[in-house]
């Protein structure tokens, strides 16, 4: 399969450029798309993918949030629960508008699937050739959100990422219980910065590739986020267990990576 990244970037910049990029919330998604593309490129190289696969993967990363632009125009929010599933919206936009000469049929299908499924809680079993690219996008997207939160923490503006939330409220009991029982949390149970931080920490368990988890650890964000939580025994016990699970997950991913297989089984 092949994709022409330069053509895809031209198409994306023209598509996104038709929205009002002077609106900070829209500009933020435009920047995020390019940042995820950069992270995806670093990851694909770390995974030692052949150049053709890198081009498809990087293209998928750039396109992943195509649905965000019309979502914000139509609903004025990025909250899927109150508007539209932005992965599905991106899939619809690309199904209608993706340029014919930018990829062959197989790569086009992979790109559409990667966009469609990038934001779902779990990745279903798709065609085997699509899976690595879907996983790359999901890892790069998560990593860039960690980096964004890190930048905002440095600037003291992290609260602006969560408009309408009670930033300094304590952890939600419902969310705490959900994470204790399922090792993941849903946004409908989150209302404070700590709630979102706890959900984000669980993302580490959903990382697909060893180099991604290594980059996340190297950023220092997991430790930094952990330090925000209160010292209450129940919360610390949950964090202890969570970090043990992350270490186990990393060992499993490293075994796969070092065995020369580039994909989780």
Which residues of this chain interact with Fe ion, rule CB under 5 A? 65, 119
Least distance between Fe ion and beta carbon 97 (Å): 18
119 vs 200 by CB, closer to Fe ion: 119
Return phi, psi of residue 263, to 5°.
Answer: -125, 145
Query: CA torsion 165→189→61→46, rounded to 10°?
Result: 110
Residue 171 to residues 121, 175, 186, 236, 242, Cα–Cα distance (Å): 22, 7, 13, 12, 16
Least distance between Fe ion and beta carbon 148 (Å): 12
Q: Could you report how far apart the first and last alpha carbons of the chain are, in Å?
A: 22
Q: 218, 195 in Cβ contact below 8 A?
A: no
Q: How far apart are CA 16 and CA 149, in angstroms?
A: 23
Q: 25, 133 in Cβ contact below 8 A?
A: no
Least distance between Fe ion and beta carbon 233 (Å): 36
Cα–Cα nearest to 26, from 74, 58, 59, 60: 74
61 vs 158 by CB, closer to Fe ion: 61
35 vs 65 by CB, closer to Fe ion: 65
41 vs 89 by CB, closer to Fe ion: 89
Q: How far apart are CA 242 and CA 185, in angstroms?
A: 13
Least distance between Fe ion and beta carbon 87 (Å): 7
Residue 3 pairs with which residues in a beta bridge?
Answer: 103
Least distance between Fe ion and beta carbon 36 (Å): 9
Q: 133, 60 in Cβ contact below 8 A?
A: yes
Least distance between Fe ion and beta carbon 25 (Å): 14
Least distance between Fe ion and beta carbon 203 (Å): 13
144 vs 250 by CB, closer to Fe ion: 144
119 vs 208 by CB, closer to Fe ion: 119
36 vs 176 by CB, closer to Fe ion: 36
- Count CB atoms within 10 A of the CB of residue 68: 24
66 vs 192 by CB, closer to Fe ion: 66
Phi/psi-derived region of residue 164, left when phi > 0, alpha when psi is between -120 and 50, beta in every other case: left
Least distance between Fe ion and beta carbon 68 (Å): 6
């Amino acid at each position: 399969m092949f994709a022409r990244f330069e053509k895809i970037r031209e198409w994306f910049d023209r598509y996104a450029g038709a929205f009002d990029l002077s609106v900070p919330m829209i500009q933020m998604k435009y920047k995020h798309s390019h940042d995820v593309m950069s992270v995806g490129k670093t990851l694909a190289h770390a995974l030692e993918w052949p150049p053709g696969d890198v081009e498809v993967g990087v293209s998928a990363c750039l396109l992943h949030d195509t649905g965000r632009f019309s979502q914000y125009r139509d609903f004025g929010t990025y909250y899927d629960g109150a508007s539209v599933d932005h992965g599905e919206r991106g899939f619809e936009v690309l199904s209608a508008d993706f340029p014919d000469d930018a990829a062959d049929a197989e790569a086009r299908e992979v790109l559409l699937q990667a966009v469609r499924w990038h934001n779902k809680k779990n990745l279903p079993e798709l065609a085997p050739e699509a899976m690595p690219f879907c996983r790359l996008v999901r890892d790069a997207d998560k990593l860039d959100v960690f980096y964004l939160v890190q930048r905002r923490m440095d600037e003291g503006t992290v609260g602006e990422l969560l408009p309408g939330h009670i930033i300094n409220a304590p952890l939600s009991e419902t969310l705490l219980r959900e994470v204790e029982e399922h090792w993941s949390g849903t946004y409908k149970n989150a209302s404070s910065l700590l709630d979102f931080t706890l959900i984000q920490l669980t993302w580490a368990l959903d990382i697909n590739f060893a180099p991604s988890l290594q980059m996340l650890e190297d950023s220092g964000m997991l430790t930094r986020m952990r330090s925000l939580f209160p010292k209450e025994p129940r919360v610390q016990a949950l964090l202890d267990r969570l970090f043990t699970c992350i270490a186990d997950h990393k060992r499993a991913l490293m075994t796969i990576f070092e065995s020369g297989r580039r994909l989780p089984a």
